[in-house]
């Protein structure tokens, strides 16, 4: 709690009390949204007290404040993954800090493998639900009652209202947007063929190594969440190919403008 307070206090001072309404987490290869931002302030994670520091090369590690679609936002360019060796508490630390800064809703993106045979690379999948296959979660341990309840309800972790708004926007702008269930695995290795088959069998439409810890922390805090996967590789049973990081980044780059448009339009429509 003290660490959250200190990080938030530092950020408030450095940003002249900038008041973001919405928090955005950008996934692997999806950092270009910041080019659409009227940037007011930018802080390196490494300068913020108690902030974990990003280790993955494709993540640049900045907290950026500014306007997107005319609304004040804070953007995490680069996130923390459990596979990097961080604790779950560290993985969700920035989410809790953003909420302390006054963020009212959370928008999350990620790169994911497509398990639904109808998906194509660079499709967007709006997440309607998830399956947590990470070995732990950020709420394990003594409950921080100041943050949220001991047993948060998870019947609608992704705002159904925002899902509908996203589908309306997609129709309006001719975007290829699907919906589906995201399974979160620890990684960092990709899945075996048998594991992809298992994931599909248990009801997942896409698989990735992030998002769910942050969403759990956000639900605990009472923040409505919108999350979207960019399908970077296809791994439906019977159609599994070798996954190369470069291909993932290429597919993410191709889908990035669509994702940015979707999030920007969605943010414009929030109260
Ligand atoms: N599996 C897990 N994580 C991923 C994948 C995948 O196929 N693609 C992108 N992130």
Q: pLDDT at position 106, please?
A: 97
The predicted structure's pLDDT at residue 231? 94
Burial of 133 (0-12, 13-18, 19+ CB in 10 A): middle
The alpha carbon of 180 and the centre of ligand 1 are apart by a number of angstroms equal to 15
190 Cα: distance to centroid of ligand 1 (angstroms): 6
**pLDDT digits 0-9 by tens, 246-266:** 888 888 888 989 999 999 999
Q: Which two tokens stand for residue 160?
A: 């159904």
Place of tokens 């408030």: 12
Q: If you take atom 2 of ligand 1, which residue's CA is the nearest one?
A: 208
- Is the pLDDT assigned to residue 58 strictly greater than 50? no
Give 141 Cα–ligand 1 centroid separation in angstroms.
29
Beta strand ranges found along 85-237 (DSSP E): 105-114, 124-132, 177-184, 206-208, 225-234
How far apart are the CA of 120 and the centre of ligand 1, in A? 14
Q: What is the pLDDT of residue 64?
A: 95
- Break the chain into its structural domains and give their ranges: 2-268
Site to substitute for ligand 1 among 233, 236, 247, most atoms within 8 A of C-beta: 233
Q: Work out the pLDDT band at 61, boundaries 50, 70, 90.
A: confident
Q: Are 253 and 231 in contact (CB under 8 A)?
A: no
> Ligand 1: distance of its center to the CA of 111 in Å?
7
Backbone angles phi, psi at 107, to 5 degrees: -120, 125
Under 8 Å between Cβ of 93 and 64: no
Q: With a threshold of 0.85, does the pTM exceed it?
A: yes
User: Distance (Å, rounded) from C-alpha 68 to C-alpha 80?
Assistant: 23
What are the angstrom distances between the C-alpha of 135 and each of 5, 23, 69, 88, 178? 28, 26, 37, 10, 28
> Which residues does a 6 A CB cutoff place in the pocket of ligand 1?
111-113, 185, 190-191, 207-209, 232-233, 235, 243, 248
CA distance 59 to 171: 31
Q: Which residue has tokens 């802080």?
A: 43
Q: Whose CA is nearest to atom 6 of ligand 1?
A: 113
Nearest CA to ligand 1 atom 9: 112
Dihedral-angle region of residue 85 (phi above 0 means left; psi in -120 to 50 means alpha; beta otherwise): left
Residue range 202-223: mean pLDDT, rounded: 98
Nearest of 252, 263, 226 to residue 122 by alpha carbon: 252
pLDDT on residue 57: 52
How close is the Cα of 99 to the center of ligand 1, in Å? 28
CA distances to 7, 126, 128, 136 from 97, in Å: 7, 25, 25, 21
Query: Domain 2-268 sits in which CATH superfamily?
Result: Nucleoside phosphorylase domain (3.40.50.1580)
Mean pLDDT of all residues belonging to the chain: 93
């Amino acid at each position: 709690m003290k660490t959250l307070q200190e990080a938030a206090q530092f950020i408030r001072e450095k940003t002249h009390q900038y008041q973001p309404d919405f928090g955005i987490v950008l996934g692997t290869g999806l950092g270009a949204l910041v080019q659409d931002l009227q940037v007011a302030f930018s802080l390196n994670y490494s300068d913020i007290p108690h902030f974990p520091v990003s280790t993955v090369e494709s993540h640049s590690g900045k907290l950026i404040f500014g306007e997107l679609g005319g609304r004040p936002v804070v953007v995490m360019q680069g996130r923390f993954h459990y596979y990097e060796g961080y604790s779950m508490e560290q993985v969700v630390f920035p989410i809790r800090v953003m909420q302390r800064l006054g963020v009212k809703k959370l928008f999350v993106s990620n790169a994911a493998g497509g398990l639904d045979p109808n998906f194509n690379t660079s499709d967007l999948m709006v997440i309607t639900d998830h399956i947590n296959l990470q070995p732990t979660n950020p709420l394990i341990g003594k409950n921080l009652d100041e943050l949220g309840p001991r047993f948060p309800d998870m019947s609608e972790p992704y705002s159904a209202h925002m899902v509908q708004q996203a589908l309306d926007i997609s129709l309006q702008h001719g975007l290829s947007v699907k919906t589906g269930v995201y399974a979160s695995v620890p990684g960092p290795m990709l899945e075996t063929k048998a594991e992809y088959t298992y994931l599909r069998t248990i009801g997942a439409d896409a698989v990735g190594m992030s998002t769910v810890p942050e969403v759990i922390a956000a639900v605990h805090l009472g923040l409505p969440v919108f999350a979207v996967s960019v399908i970077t590789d296809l791994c439906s049973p019977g159609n599994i190919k070798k996954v190369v990081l470069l291909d993932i980044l290429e597919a993410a780059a191709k889908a990035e403008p669509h994702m940015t448009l979707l999030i920007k339009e969605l943010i414009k429509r929030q109260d």
